[in-house]
Amino acid sequence: MIYTVTLNPSIDYIVQVEDLKLGELNRMKHDDKLPGGKGINVSRVLNQLNVNSQATGFLGGFTGGFIKDWLEEEGVKTGFVKISDDTRINIKLKHGEETEINGLGPTISKQEQTVFFEKMQAVKTGDIVILSGSVPPSLGNNFYEQIIAHCLEIGADFMIDTTGSELLEALPKKPLLIKPNHHELAELFGVPLKTREDIIVYGKKCLDLGAQHVIVSMAGDGALFFEGENVYFAEPIKGVVKNSVGAGDSMIAGFVGAYSVTKEPLEAFKTGVATGTATAFSTDLAKKAFINEMKPKVKLIKL
């Protein structure tokens, strides 16, 4: 089983305004409300790939109810802890360029945290736990570390999708996969990465520090995959980018979903490229038919 952990989910309230005027009445041209959160995105895409997962974390209030109902209607299994505070709403205001206003996240009590770790007892040896996104301030600085320690104790694999010191500290614990983009990789090591050769040096360093597999996404310049002594380059697929939000999460879903079935890293990377690209070319997360359409277009070069 794959478990996706989203500690600070949201409703993403997407508002389109043609000509935003601050201090005046503005009317929306269009709006959408979607379940948000990196782990939630992963579970939604895994569902399109017909790979079982359980989405877990913390949900509360009418906003949490909206997210839970949406996921269950799509067929995604959920195991969230119900909390007394409300799940946040993130506003994405589109008026030419996008302006984001993100909520801080709920206050989560010690008792609610205890219930979360009780639910994590369902994770067994051989399962995969995907840790994605931000941590609400009320959970402190080491909540991911506690989850990783539980995974190591029972023999479950974990994948972590975060940045900075949290990611660096997780590497010696041998995550199944990390997926920084090239900017995040540069930030991780505090160095400028100006060329693909620069990126390769530090992608390999992530392996040396403990990661089992590394994907470095480079937006419109493709992606690099590091496994053992090998480095592969996925050429960018041509198309119209409609949605950068969730493309990275979709790539993670494609890789982990395929790897959980086949244990073939290179085939998993191909699936990850297809799912990430399909989402980038969609208005929401990728659907199964479009993912299947992208798969034959994935071209890999061994460097």
Per-residue model confidence (pLDDT) at position 221: 84
User: Using one digit for the tens of pLDDT, what is the confidence trace for 189-208?
Assistant: 889 988 888 999 999 999 99
In the predicted structure, residue 19 carries a pLDDT above the cut 80: yes
Q: What's the average model confidence in pLDDT over 132-147?
A: 88
In the predicted structure, residue 43 carries a pLDDT above the cut 90: yes
Q: Is 31 a catalytic residue?
A: no
What six digits make up the tokens of 128?
A: 């995969």
- Report the chain's C-alpha Rg in angstroms: 19
User: Using one digit for the tens of pLDDT, what is the confidence trace for 90-137?
Assistant: 998 888 777 888 888 899 999 999 999 999 999 999 999 999 888 888
Question: How far is the C-alpha of 69 from the C-alpha of 78, rounded, in Å?
Answer: 10
DSSP category for residue 23 = T
User: Using one digit for the tens of pLDDT, what is the confidence trace for 50-74?
Assistant: 999 999 999 999 999 999 999 999 9
- Among 208, 221, 249, 284, the active-site one is 249
Per-residue model confidence (pLDDT) at position 148: 94
Question: How far is the C-alpha of 57 from the C-alpha of 3, rounded, in Å?
Answer: 10
Query: All domains of the chain, ordered by start, with CATH?
Result: 1-17+29-161 (3.40.1190.20), 163-303 (3.40.1190.20)
First to last CA, the chain: 33
In the predicted structure, residue 83 carries a pLDDT above the cut 90: yes
Bigger pLDDT: 94 or 244? 94
Question: How far is the C-alpha of 18 from the C-alpha of 231, rounded, in Å?
Answer: 45
Which has the closest alpha carbon to 142: 166, 158, 113, 177?
166
- In sequence order, the β-bridge partners of residue 130 are 4, 159
Helical (H) or strand (E) element with 204: helix 196-208
Per-residue model confidence (pLDDT) at position 282: 87
User: Using one digit for the tens of pLDDT, what is the confidence trace for 256-299?
Assistant: 999 999 999 999 999 999 999 999 888 788 899 999 999 999 99
Question: How far is the C-alpha of 31 from the C-alpha of 4, rounded, in Å?
Answer: 27
In the predicted structure, residue 151 carries a pLDDT above the cut 90: yes
Q: What's the average model confidence in pLDDT over 43-52?
A: 93
In the predicted structure, residue 152 carries a pLDDT above the cut 90: yes
In percent, the amount of the chain with pLDDT more than 70 equals: 100
If pLDDT is split at 50, 70 and 90, which confidence band does 246 have? confident
Compute CA distances 200 → 131, 217, 230, whole Å.
25, 12, 11
Global pTM exceeds 0.75 = yes
